Amino acid sequence: MTVDAKTTQPDHRQSIETPYGWAVLAVSLLLVVVGYGSTLLLLVSLKQIAVDLEWPRSVPSRAYACNMIGIGLGGIVMGYWSDRSGPAPAIVLSALAMPAGLWLVSNVTEPWQVYLAYGLLIGFIANGALFSPLIANTTRWFDKRRGLAIAIVASGQGVGGTLLAPLFRWVNEHHGWRTTYEWYALVALCLMVPTLLILRRRAPQPHQNTAVLADNRQPLGMPLNTVHAMLFAAIICCCVAMATPLVHLVAHVSDLGFTYAQGAQVLSLLLFTSLFSRLGLGALSDRIGGFRTLLSGSGLQAISLLLFASLGDLWAIYGIAVLFGLGFGGIVPSYAMIIREIFPERRAAWRIAMVMTGGTLGMASGGYAGGWIFDGTGSYVAAFLLGFAFNLGNLAIIGNLYRRHRRGRRMDVAVPA
């Protein structure tokens, strides 16, 4: 491979990292935790909402689907706005929409109200301004430790799951799910508004990158748009598989005859494990690459789904939750790593956003399908097996791309200056 000599020289320029960047990282992590809490509250309360309002479980499952679709589409719109105006204006809107959506859910009487709250207010507006836009903004404050910064912000989902799942379960049991939503609306407002004092400052200007890849480069032996479409299909497959345990695990454990508290503990353990998995697999991908990291995580997820479908002992479920958390925690960040490995750098951000939208569509579809299958069969076994089938599809697509990637790395590819 031939490269311009300028691109191989070490960069001795002063780093853009400052103590203020770590403050930005800290409040970004807090916002991701708060944002994921709004989704987690639905997962923990799913069965109680369905029973209390005499709805089939497909109704709150459909609300989760609306939330995932809203987050995906909102991430593109809010991300574009944040790129132009900085994150603060979008966070202002998020800080208003989040409590409004949670309050609306606490007073719902009809299904369309919870769809509106989770699809538009909590999903598109509130969470749409959080996860992807905040990660993108964080990268602008870091250059030497950018990977660590991304992993810390992305781990907000694991932190939120570990801390908030048992708390939501306790408040639900003692005060009811409507009161839990009302209290969390107030908490979200009080936590989100002060972060604007930190996020209102614009990020420092990055150093100019002299290495620019050609748009017509084909390291996998096929057009880059074809590769992009395959990654989009792959993340849909793995996220359909991922959604059933994440959305329905508390209800599944309860259906097996165990307590609601034990179900919340299983979900909390899964998310706690995923927190360390996300950080660990993120570091591992720097050594072995995104493809092999993704294949490892997806393989563990597939095995876990088969075990969820076949085992009903509580201690076995705890063990499967750990295995599932180890696998799924590093899957989604691996897609960003793969895109940075094979796509031109100046187009990477747009492609990452689009692929992540495919992930939210997969989560939406899988979460809804789990509730729909339960309503038809009275069990989640078929839903876990459907997830396993989609997981095999993910392994097939990524395995094919990895085979091409390995073959392409053995070929000399000229990269113009």
DSSP 206: P
Which is higher by pLDDT, 201 or 121?
Answer: 121
Q: Are 243 and 363 in contact (CB under 8 A)?
A: yes
The answer to whether 181 and 172 are in contact (CB under 8 A) is: no
- Point out the least confidently predicted range of 23-32, 66-75, 139-148, 157-166: 139-148
- 168, 40 contact by CB (below 8 A): yes
Q: How far is CA 15 from CA 9, 24, 199, 344, 415, in A?
A: 16, 16, 20, 23, 27
Residue 92 · residue 82 · CB < 8 Å: no
The answer to whether domain 17-204 and domain 211-410 are alike in fold is yes
pLDDT of residue 343: 72
d(CA 104, CA 126): 14
Averaged pLDDT score across all residues of the chain: 83
The per-residue pLDDT for 147 is 65
Q: Is it the case that residue 218 has pLDDT exceeding 70?
A: no
The amino acid at 69: I
Decide if 123 contacts 66 (C-beta within 8 A).
yes
> Residues near 310 by Cβ (< 8 Å), separated by ≥ 6?
none
Whether 123 contacts 67, CB under 8 Å? yes
10 φψ region: left (φ > 0), alpha (ψ -120 to 50), beta (else): beta
Q: In 10 A of CB 414, how many CB atoms?
A: 9
pLDDT band at 319 (very low <50, low <70, confident <90, very high): very high
What letter represents residue 103's amino acid? W
pTM, two decimal places: 0.71
* Residue-level pLDDT at 263: 87
pLDDT, tens only, 47-91 = 889 989 988 888 888 898 899 889 888 888 887 787 777 788 889
Give the Cα separation of 192 and 99 in Å (integer).
10
- The 10s digit of each residue's pLDDT in 293-307 is 899 999 999 999 999
DSSP state at residue 207? P
C-alpha to C-alpha distance for 152 and 134, rounded to whole angstroms: 12
> What DSSP character marks residue 109?
-
* Average pLDDT, integer, range 117-136: 88
**Region for residue 70 given its phi and psi (left: phi exceeds 0; alpha: psi -120 to 50; beta: otherwise):** alpha
CATH no. of 211-410: 1.20.1250.20
Of the candidates 330, 268, 269, the residue with the CA atom closest to the CA atom of residue 300: 330
Instruction: Give yes or no for residue 376 having a pLDDT over 60.
Output: yes
Spatial CA neighbour of 105 closest among 90, 123, 93, 87: 123
Q: Measure the CA–CA gap between 26 and 199, rounded to whole angstroms.
A: 11
Q: Candidates 1.20.1250.20, 3.65.10.10, 2.10.109.10, 3.40.50.10860; correct CATH number of 17-204?
A: 1.20.1250.20
CA 272 to chain centre: 15
On whether the CB atoms of residues 242 and 111 are closer than 8 A, the answer is no
117 pLDDT above the threshold of 80: yes
Residue 207, pLDDT score: 54
Q: Is the confidence at residue 246, as pLDDT, over 90? A: no
Domain range list for the chain: 17-204, 211-410
Closest CA to 353 of 209, 199, 231: 231
pLDDT (0 to 100) of residue 347: 58
Tokens of 302: 């597939």
CA distance 231 to 250: 30
pLDDT in tens, 268-287: 889 888 878 877 877 777 67
